[in-house]
Amino acid sequence: MDINEILQYLPHRYPFLLVDRVLEIEEGVRILALKNVTMNEPFFTGHFPNRPVFPGVLIMEALAQAAAILSFKTMGHKPDPDAAVYFAGIDNARFKRPVLPGDQLLLEVNISRKMRNIWKYSAVARVGDELAAEADLMCALKTAS
């Protein structure tokens, strides 16, 4: 999936759109997506001025965005304008390596379980072959009222 198709599945826009490309997707099972980390991103001016590091919370958000694409593709439809996917939990999060400008962050998310509108995933972020972060994510699909 290129960026134009990704924009049809995620409500996020710059500077908060954190998935640049979907490399592989197996509906109902897994997704492999890519985030290009560039020095132009606005948070690098403050995180950290002398040693820019991609924030860990944004790694989790990038994984969740990839998970949302996988979920909507698995359900077989694009999101309703009144719907949103929210974090319901992040467990076992571990950060193993800093992610720096110039890195390509590979986002791999596998569906662990689906119960009604709650989805559980196992998620891993890598730079090349190096593990950058991992977590078990839980997200909830909600319709705005």
Inter-residue contact 99 to 127 (CB < 8 Å): yes
pLDDT in tens, 24-73: 999 999 999 999 999 999 999 999 989 999 999 999 999 999 999 999 99
- Indicate which residues carry an active-site annotation: 47
21-26 and 83-95 beta bridge pairing: unpaired
Domain ranges of the chain: 3-143
DSSP-assigned states of every residue in the chain: --HHHHHHH----TTS----EEEEEETTTEEEEEEE--TTSGGGGTS-TTS----HHHHHHHHHHHHHHHHHHHHTSPPPTTEEEEEEEEEEEEE-S---TT-EEEEEEEEEEEETTEEEEEEEEEETTEEEEEEEEEEEEEE--
What's the CATH number of domain 3-143, 3.20.20.80, 3.30.70.3450, 3.10.129.10, 3.40.640.10? 3.10.129.10
Report pTM: 0.96
Taking the C-alpha atoms of residue 11 and residue 61, their distance in angstroms, rounded to an integer, is 13
Q: What is the pLDDT of residues 83-141, one digit of tens each?
A: 888 999 999 999 999 999 999 999 999 999 999 999 999 999 999 999 999 999 999 98
